[in-house]
Structure 1
Amino acid sequence: MSAQVSRLPEEGEIVIATVREVTGHGAYVVLDEYNSMTGFLHISEIATGWIRNIERYVRPKQKAVLKVIRVNKARGEVDCSLKQVSGEERKSKLIEVKKNEKAQAFMDFIKARLKMTDAQVSEVEEKILAKYDYVYDVFEEVARKGPEVLDKFELSDDLKKAMEEESNKIQVPQVEVRGVMEISSRKPDGIEIIKTTLAGVESGKGSAKTEVTYIGAPRYRIVVTAENFKVAEKSMNNAVEKVRLAIEKQHGAFNFAREESKKTHQS
């Protein structure tokens, strides 16, 4: 994962570098993912406009996200740019690095625990990367959906168990959207109608979990938890609309008011 993938990076590639030395013309950097290969960051590629002090932008030992703009394969020289890296590219690269670091820690622990060889670890990682962008992604999916995710791979039971236990260390970020429904019915069996309707929207499966709790007649709280607000909002809207239609079909009264949403973690 952090090993050298090829001898030289490609032009246009986003890389992580450590600033080694700052000069009057720019900075020499070490490309972390390419076996500490040296690259050069010219002063004209550090920032737009005139630069009075390079160290305002880059300093020795500092980590930087750079774009490879020229590669001389014959001489093994790499020129980089800081100013050509977009905010989105920088964010994406830092996420990639963080995922790789976490996955490396997980795999190192599993390797030691199961006494695996480097070749065996590489084989497992290759299987994962055939289905996921990053090795870390499989651990995250196990944390979200459960160990059944690993059934798609040909892995030993011991390895699956170890991977599941490492996945349990991940705190899965979740969001919670809430609201209060006021529901009433004049029918003799109105209470049963309401109970049956609310039970029909509760769900603990899929990408969102919906719970309804009784506050006090005629008020009921509905809470939807999901991995992001888009999924949560869609599930909330669907559930509320389902309740509204069912209650109004039975000539009951329905009203809904939103409460403040919040971010949480899956326990």
Structure 2
Amino acid sequence: MKYSGWPEANELVVGRIDEIEDFGVFVDLLEYEDKRGLCHISEVASGWIKNVRDHVNVDQRVVAKVLDVDEESQQIDLSLKDVNDHQRTEKIQEWKNEQKADNWMELAFGEDIDDETYTVVANALLAEFPTLYDAFEDAAIHGEEAIADVDLDESDITAIVETARENVSVPYVEVTGYVDLECPSSAGVDVIKEALQAAEGNGEVPEEVDLEVTYVGAPEYRIEVQAPDYKTAESQLEASADRAIAVVRDHDGVAEFHRERREDDE
């Protein structure tokens, strides 16, 4: 869904060049309803420009910076040269993400969702999340807990979570660490088994986290964690190692956590 208002000065916008003149180019703003901006020839590219058409093409998708907005005269001044490659890539990805979120809204509430309902749901989500995409992504990872504080009916929350889990591809990161576990007592084998069960979480690892403990070579064990972000992954890795170490040390054993595999085991 497109915004009905106006962009703000210094905002980056996604547009499509729909007309080229000798003095500049007209850009259809893809994020706004019925809004068109003008990029003067001096703002198309750095340096002297002999022919605008050497730099842009009709129907080309561009990212522009809003220089000025005059609502009274219905004029939006744009710059293409003031957008660097990083900003361009980031803005295009953000725009694509919001297109996906727009599609997910239709999947959750029906293709014939009216503007009023869309606006109510979107505003409720945006009160808690930076973007609609972020809201759906978090719902896919954490379920109803992620949007429990959103001011929506339970049925709406359920629809969002079900749609998110069926359609959102969640990015995962992986971290690895190692624990050395030794227990010389007569019950040492059972202690190590208990420590490994503790490392695996005893069923208490969050649903969005995949944690696996594997044997490398006595006394070393590998802990691999997959999670939606590095902060979560690192905290779960450390917690897993701490649980295993605590069990072994409680039985007067020796335990140590390290990030790299021991050279002797290579």
TM-score by length of 2: 0.79
Q: Does 1:188 align with 2:186?
A: yes
Structure 2 vs 1, CA of residues 136 and 62 (structure 1 numbering), >3 Å: closer, same or farther?
same
Aligned residue identity for 1:77: Q
Check whether the contact 1:99–1:134 (CA below 8 A) recurs between aligned residues. no
Structure 2 vs 1, CA of residues 21 and 120 (structure 1 numbering), >3 Å: closer, same or farther?
closer
Select 1:15's aligned residue among 13, 16, 32.
13
Structure 2 vs 1, CA of residues 135 and 257 (structure 1 numbering), >3 Å: closer, same or farther?
closer
Q: Does 1:164 align with 2:161?
A: yes
Match of 1:108 in 2: 106
Check whether the contact 1:248–1:254 (CA below 8 A) recurs between aligned residues. no
Select 1:95's aligned residue among 93, 96, 110.
93
Give the whole-Å Cα distance in 2 for the aligned partners of 1:58 and 1:45: 12
Give the whole-Å Cα distance in 1 for the aligned partners of 2:79 and 2:143: 42
Deviations 1:56-86 (A, max 9, x none): 5321101111011123344222211112124
Give the whole-Å Cα distance in 2 for the aligned partners of 1:245 and 1:40: 66
Match of 1:258 in 2: 260
How many residues in Structure 1 have an aligned counterpart in Structure 2? 256
Give the whole-Å Cα distance in 2 for the aligned partners of 1:238 and 1:148: 22
Unmatched segments (≥5 aa) in structure 2: 262-266
- % of aligned pairs identical? 31
Q: How does 1:242-253 map to 2 (within 5 A)?
A: 243=244, 247=248, 250-252=252-254
**How far did residue 208 of structure 1 move?**
4.7
Q: Does 1:2 align with 2:2?
A: yes
Instruction: Identify which range, 137-146 or 120-129, moves more after superposition.
Output: 120-129
Structure 2 vs 1, CA of residues 117 and 25 (structure 1 numbering), >3 Å: closer, same or farther?
closer
TM-score by length of 1: 0.79
Select 2:129's aligned residue among 129, 132, 141.
132
Instruction: Identify which range, 150-159 or 222-231, moves more after superposition.
Output: 150-159
Structure 2 vs 1, CA of residues 220 and 40 (structure 1 numbering), >3 Å: closer, same or farther?
same
Match of 1:80 in 2: 78
Deviations 1:150-194 (A, max 9, x none): 433454454333322211111111112234444333221222332
Q: Which has the higher strand share?
A: 1
Unmatched segments (≥5 aa) in structure 1: 260-267
Check whether the contact 1:12–1:68 (CA below 8 A) recurs between aligned residues. yes
Aligned residue identity for 1:137: D
Deviations 1:209-249 (A, max 9, x none): 43323456444221111123344245434544664576567
Structure 2 vs 1, CA of residues 86 and 242 (structure 1 numbering), >3 Å: closer, same or farther?
farther
Match of 2:228 in 1: 227
